[in-house]
């Protein structure tokens, strides 16, 4: 069994994926708009250029997404990025939180050298962390 994450955007999927590709070194694998689907087309009004389905690789993890006519921002789920340095955590936090809403400013915690939580300008919740080595369970 394999589990994948699928997120929805309110008309900003292409812009978001291009932003993630630029700033995270991700790779867009495919993107199809509603008007590119085969006939018969059932396109929600105003969504002709919206993304029907897209897939991007962020590191070694696929993320799938689309646009929707009645999409609400994420509330309880987060995409979590684990990085190998404080500098990379700070860089990603800065570019992804720009224009978004910060829930927890980037800082040191008992479990991470750097950790921050925010919603980006596209409505996606993120956690970015550079983990601290933790003792193993007995």
Instruction: Look up the CATH number of the domain holding residue 128.
Output: 3.30.720.110
Same domain, 64 and 80: no
pLDDT, residue 24, reads 97
pLDDT in tens, the chain (138 residues): 989 999 999 999 999 999 999 999 999 999 999 999 988 878 888 888 999 999 999 999 999 999 988 888 788 899 999 999 999 999 999 999 999 999 999 999 999 999 999 999 999 999 999 999 888 877
Do residues 48 and 35 touch, judged by C-beta distance below 8 A? yes
Same domain, 90 and 137: yes
How many C-beta atoms surround the C-beta of residue 13 within 10 A? 25
pLDDT, residue 53, reads 96
pTM above the 0.75 mark?
A: yes
Looking at the structure of the chain, the number of domains it has is: 2
Same domain, 81 and 63: no
CA distance 4 to 40: 28
How many C-beta atoms surround the C-beta of residue 94 within 10 A? 13
Q: Is the peptide bond before 22 cis (omega within 30 degrees of 0)?
A: no
Range of the structural domain that residue 17 is part of:
1-72
């Amino acid at each position: 069994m394999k589990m994948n994450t699928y997120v929805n955007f309110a008309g900003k999927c292409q812009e978001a994926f291009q932003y993630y590709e630029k700033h995270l070194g991700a790779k867009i694998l495919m993107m199809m708009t509603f008007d590119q689907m085969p006939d018969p087309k059932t396109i929600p009004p105003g969504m002709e250029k919206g993304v029907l389905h897209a897939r991007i690789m962020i590191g070694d993890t696929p993320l799938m997404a689309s646009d929707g006519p009645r999409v609400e921002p994420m509330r309880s789920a987060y995409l979590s990025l684990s990085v190998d340095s404080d500098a990379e955590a700070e860089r990603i936090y800065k570019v992804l939180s720009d224009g978004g809403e910060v829930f927890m400013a980037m800082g040191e915690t008992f479990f991470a050298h750097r950790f921050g939580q925010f919603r980006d300008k596209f409505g996606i919740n993120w956690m970015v962390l550079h983990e601290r080595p933790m003792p193993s369970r007995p």
